[in-house]
Chain A
Amino acid sequence: MLRVVTVYPDLLGTYGDRGNGIVLQRRAALRGIESAHDEATSDERLPVADIYCIGGGEDGPQQLAVERLEQDGTLKERAADGAVVLAVCAGLQVLGRSFAVSDGTRAGGLGLFELDTVASAQPRAVGEVVVDGAAGYLPLTGFENHAGRTVRDEALAPLGRVISGVGNGDGTDGALVGRLVGTYLHGPVLARNPLLADWLLALALDAGELAPIDDDPSRGLHDERLGVARRAR
């Protein structure tokens, strides 16, 4: 039984973030893999799962999410035990060491990623993003909407290179260490990137490559968005 949990949709679910959990569960089910997707709100104990999806949110809820996740302890434990974690947008910042808050102060993160997110004089990063070489080889398409810029320690690998858009702000996007994946491609990033979804599923299932899904409209969506972004450059 593959268990997928969307973490705290009440705090971190601003941009259709539950879509990632839906996509993972459906892509597993379509291959006949027994699976479940739960949305765990912040007032309950975080269930034990194989894949955790953490989404985006505003400053206040983001800080509260860190507090609850620290108190709860499950996410850190499961991450250490090899669970897959997909953290998008504010979720990426939550997994980092620290992040800037709009009132000018800084807040602590969970410290699973050796990175800090700092305030920036640059305008807010809003728009289509293309990332290449994600997890080594995947081209990704997505949408970003964030104010901070993220500074990785040298030892921490990014998820991929930014071809267009902002991402971390240094020509890279996100972070990748073990089975922890972070990206600024926000909301339902897996809906636009079925290969990334399958890569995460394969990680969680300790499987090699998964069989393709018949009549999968998201392949066409992925190609269309990449094409549009490339033409716009």
Chain B
Amino acid sequence: MPRATVEHDDSPSIRGARLSARDRAGLAALRLVNGASRRSGRGQGTVAGGRVALRIAPRLLERLAYDLELALVSGTNGKTTTTACLTAAMSTRGPVATNDTGSNMLPGHVAALGNSTARVAVLECDEVWLSRAIPLERPGAVVVLNLSRDQLDRTSEVRHVARSWHAALASLEGTCVANADDPLVVSAAVHAPNVAWFAGGLEFREDASACPRCMARLHFDDDGGWHCECGLARPDPDAFLRDGTAVVDGTQVPFKITLPGAFNEGNGLAALLAAVRLGVDADAAAAAICSVTDVAGRFSELDVDGSRARLLLAKNPAGWSALLRLLADDDAPIVVAINARVADGFDPSWLYDVEFDRLAGRRVVATGERWRDLSTRLFYAGVEHTTETDPRRAIAVAGGAGRRVDVIANYTAFAALHGAR
């Protein structure tokens, strides 16, 4: 596939790509809208600015991405954390442009690139938009983490997303960095001309019990291996974890990440492998990734009337499964907060895909705008609990005399608590 045609006029260039008058107008609009919305205090405004810019200059994203060393990070869970880790690793060599959480579609990408002069970019990409982003941005690396059910009332079903990835990855010029443990990811990534596999784990098997290629039942071994009679099988990973180290392309590097949970080790490993394939020194990349702590408020702490609450974000069954496992060895009281706004998905049916039984015996308080759905779910899971309509009150009640409380919340419930700090 030839590089996008670039108009050769006398316009100023951004990183080698010459911008047309139209592109420059788009860029000016981007900066104007973003500046205005920042000044008015209505958030970063990155999405609004990006949308306006793309309307004025539809090819602006291609132009901005031209000649950049660019990596995309996609998947149902772990995008934001992995993007932060890969950004940290790439930053060991110089400035990196990246998008803030929530602007992970094309307008957010335009905003991130248009507001930066860095020659390296690491962008989080919504899984449904990945197939559109790849041909426009021509990334040097695409990290695909996992694929499972998430907000089915507004996004496509997972097998449909996997098929769209297959088509886009087949023409990828860069390296596809893919999770060998997730059959849906593998079914798409095997079509990429250049793949590097990492052993990222699989938190949720429900969407991968039938083979994505032939729909026969997949066989899973106890050690994480899997295969199907049709020949689809777990590829040998190029990167995996072993006794507190990461092995990347046969070389062992120290790897003890600060972020909690096995799923975050997988995210960090994905970032490490991507960084190494993009030419970063493995030791430097590993050190940078291991120093990443709070990512967009995840695992940050909130103080409510003397109770210390650790904020945990879970958006879908796979995310919940990972967090419930993380909390299994703990005995802190737990506040669970569920909303069902547009960003959460309007349909909380997924509550029945989460093994809330794991919370039995713990002190549990159910809250959030959909506390009745949650309370009903906990009732059927046999988990004794109390309810509070107000999440902050729930934390105070759960914490009692200043105990540490773990709060698991879905997207807007999390954002409300994090924003209130």
Contact B373 A221, beta carbon cutoff 8 Å: yes
Q: Which residues of A contact B160 (CB under 8 A)?
A: 58
Contact A187 to B347, CB < 8 A, known contacts A15-B152, A221-B376? yes
Contact B376 A64, beta carbon cutoff 8 Å: no
CB of A19 within 8 A of chain B? yes
Interface SS of chain A: helix, strand, loop or mixed?
A: mixed
Contact B209 A186, beta carbon cutoff 8 Å: no
Interface size on B, residues (CB 8 A): 29
CB of A51 within 8 A of chain B? no
Q: Which residues of A contact B209 (CB under 8 A)?
A: 9-10, 41
Contact A19 to B352, CB < 8 A, known contacts A58-B157, A61-B210, A191-B380? yes
B289 to chain A, nearest CB (A): 35
With both beta carbons as reference points, the residue of chain B lying nearest to A189 in the complex is identified as B349
Q: Which of A76-84, A153-161, A212-220 lies at the binding interface?
A: A212-220
Give the most central of B152, B217, B349: most A CB within 10 Å: B349
Contact A188 B352, beta carbon cutoff 8 Å: yes
- Residue-by-residue, is A164-190 near B (CB-CB < 8 Å gives 1, otherwise 0)? 000000000000000000000011100
Contact B346 A18, beta carbon cutoff 8 Å: no
Rounded to whole angstroms, the CA-CA distance of A231 and B376 in the bound complex is 22
B377 to chain A, nearest CB (A): 7
CB of A143 within 8 A of chain B? yes
Rounded to whole angstroms, the CA-CA distance of A58 and B215 in the bound complex is 12
The residue from A58, A64, A186 contacting B349, defined by CB atoms under 8 A apart: A186
Rounded to whole angstroms, the CA-CA distance of A41 and B380 in the bound complex is 22
CB of B415 within 8 A of chain A? no
Contact A191 B352, beta carbon cutoff 8 Å: yes
Q: Which residues of A contact B380 (CB under 8 A)?
A: 19, 22-23, 26, 191
- Residue-by-residue, is A18-38 near B (CB-CB < 8 Å gives 1, otherwise 0)? 110011001000000000000
With both beta carbons as reference points, the residue of chain A lying nearest to B208 in the complex is identified as A10
CB of B350 within 8 A of chain A? yes
The residue from A17, A127, A192 contacting B346, defined by CB atoms under 8 A apart: A127
Contact B352 A10, beta carbon cutoff 8 Å: no
A96 to chain B, nearest CB (A): 21
Rounded to whole angstroms, the CA-CA distance of A43 and B215 in the bound complex is 11
CB of B379 within 8 A of chain A? yes
Contact A13 to B210, CB < 8 A, known contacts A187-B352, A218-B379? no
Contact A217 B372, beta carbon cutoff 8 Å: yes
Rounded to whole angstroms, the CA-CA distance of A13 and B160 in the bound complex is 16
A180 to chain B, nearest CB (A): 22
**Besides the contacts A13-B206, A186-B349, what 5 more A-B pairs have beta carbons closer than 8 Å?**
A15-B350, A41-B209, A64-B215, A127-B346, A145-B152
Residues of A within 8 A of B (CB): 9-11, 13-19, 22-23, 26, 41-43, 58, 60-61, 64, 126-128, 143, 145, 186-188, 191-192, 216-218, 220-221, 224
Residues of B within 8 A of A (CB): 149, 152-154, 157, 159-160, 206, 209-210, 215, 217, 346-347, 349-353, 372-373, 375-377, 379-382, 387
Q: List 23 A-B contacts (CB under 8 A).
A: A14-B149, A14-B157, A16-B350, A16-B352, A17-B352, A19-B380, A22-B380, A23-B380, A26-B379, A41-B209, A42-B217, A43-B217, A60-B159, A126-B153, A128-B346, A143-B153, A145-B152, A145-B153, A217-B387, A218-B376, A218-B379, A221-B375, A224-B372
